[in-house]
Amino acid sequence: MSVVVEEYNPLWPAHFQQIRSELASYLKGVSVKSIEHVGSTSVPGLAAKPIIDVDIIVSRENLGPAIDALVQNGSFTYLGELGIKDRHALRDPKQSPQRNTYICIDGAFQTRNHLALRDTLRTNTALREEYADVKRGLAARGVDIVDYLKGKGGIIQKILKESGILTEEELNAIDAANTNVERIGATKTAKLTLREFVTSDVDGYYELESDPDVVRYQTFEPFTYEQAKKQVFEILRDSACIPRQHIELAVTHENQLIGRVGAMLDPNSGKDGQPHLASLWFSFMPKWQGKGYATEAVEKFIELLGRRPLTLEIECDPRNTRSVKMAERLGFERVTVTERAYESKGEMVDSWVFRKSY
Ligand SMILES: CC(C)(COP(=O)(O)OP(=O)(O)OC[C@H]1O[C@@H](n2cnc3c(N)ncnc32)[C@H](O)[C@@H]1OP(=O)(O)O)[C@@H](O)C(=O)NCCC(=O)NCCS
């Protein structure tokens, strides 16, 4: 979907004030330093995507309480850092006027970055005009959000340099964040949706991994609710790392979580033209097995991994015939057979490794 940039709308500050007072009511009792209108809609006269960016600025120790207050009092969904350290994204159930809501750590350089960008653009007319031209140009070319963010990287660096409040190292980190967008957008197949995990997936994840049949051939026991919660938060945290090594997506059918697909990339692969090496896993609720859904999801996931050349491995306990069939169905070849490879649930089990190169 291409990005829409509109001329400045004088109603944007009023929209922000409305959002601000809603947020303040949810955050009552939490120590908040300030709630700031940031992003292009906060700069009078600047053309912008018509989305109000809001930073709730808190000290590090108030991050947890602020997230909890928004999730519990305002029905927000916590999305994690989304690749930007110290900027925690929340999906707001109210989307009119459209907004992005973040909780930002006071003094962290990403927080200072947002404020510096806004304050410089508010006072420097020439840079404001140049920035608006770049944005209009990108929108006129019909670019998607990924190319839009990349296309703005150069002018943002110029504005931040002008602000003079960030170090060279901090400027490089912002540039890397703007040019390495590693999040995978929600994608549909014929019957399924693959998307990044969100905190509200804990219940579904628990239903999946607490099932003894699902974990029958895994080394771990069925998950407790606490373990499921911890695992979902780990997936969220790992999704924010750049470069990303652990990539795991939720698979949904009619808006219900039915399984997950993941890969762990070897950190030393992919450099100097080497193939990216990754181990692949998948797990689906028993009531959704035997319908071809897992195959459909894994095929799409491999496409979304995108990295090429790519070599993928699937490790199976050979007693796990569904998993073995799955590897074969996907065209993987068995490359190693190890007898009594490791202990699983009190017994020594064999291990088969399947491999395929893309
Ligand atoms: C491994 C696992 C994902 C495989 O699931 P699955 O249900 O066999 O795979 P699919 O959803 O792709 O379904 C394929 C089966 O559905 C059948 N099927 C029925 N309708 C179908 C359709 N419309 N299209 C394709 N296949 C269909 C296929 O014939 C196939 O059956 P078969 O294996 O008996 O030949 C699943 O068993 C699982 O989650 N196990 C628990 C976790 C686990 O052990 N993971 C592996 C560790 S990496």
Interval between CA 284 and ligand 1 midpoint (Å): 8
Q: Is 191 in the pocket of ligand 1 (CB under 6 A)?
A: no
Atom of ligand 1 nearest to the CA of 214: 41
Q: Which residues, in sequence order, are CB contacts of 56 under 8 Å at separation 6+?
A: 23, 27, 32, 35, 36, 66, 101, 102, 103, 104
- What is the pLDDT at residue 151? 82
Query: Are the C-beta atoms of 148 and 3 separated by less than 8 Å?
Result: yes
Spatial separation of the C-alpha atoms in residues 214 and 207, rounded to whole Å: 10
For residue 321, report the distance from its CA to the centre of ligand 1, in Å. Answer: 10
Q: Are strands 310-316 and 276-284 parallel, antiparallel or unpaired?
A: parallel
Tell me which amino acid residue 348 is: M
Ligand 1 close to Cβ of residue 325 (< 6 A) = yes
Per DSSP, the residues of 74-105 read H--EEEE-TTSTTEEEEE-S--SS-EEEEEEE
The answer to whether the CB of 289 is under 6 A from ligand 1 is yes
Ligand 1 contacts CB of residue 290 (under 6 A):
yes
3-state secondary structure 171-238: HHHHHHHHHCCCCCCCEECCCCEEEECCHHHHHHHHHHHCCCCCCCCCCCCCCCHHHHHHHHHHHHHH
Please report the pLDDT score of residue 197 as a whole number.
87
Residue nearest to atom 15 of ligand 1 (CA): 290
Report residue 46 as tokens. 């600047």
Per-residue pLDDT of the chain (358 residues), as tens digits, is: 567 789 999 999 999 999 999 999 999 999 999 999 999 999 999 988 899 999 999 999 999 999 999 999 998 988 877 667 788 889 887 878 889 999 999 998 889 888 999 999 999 999 999 999 998 888 888 776 667 777 888 898 889 888 887 777 777 766 665 555 466 778 889 999 999 888 788 899 999 999 999 999 999 999 999 899 889 888 887 776 667 789 999 999 998 999 999 999 988 888 777 788 999 999 999 999 999 999 999 999 999 998 888 999 999 999 999 999 999 999 999 999 999 999 999 999 999 999 999 9
Q: Does residue 2 sit in helix, strand or coil?
A: strand
**Measured between alpha carbons, how far is 112 from 341 in angstroms, rounded to an integer?**
52
Token pair in block for residue 179: 């040019």
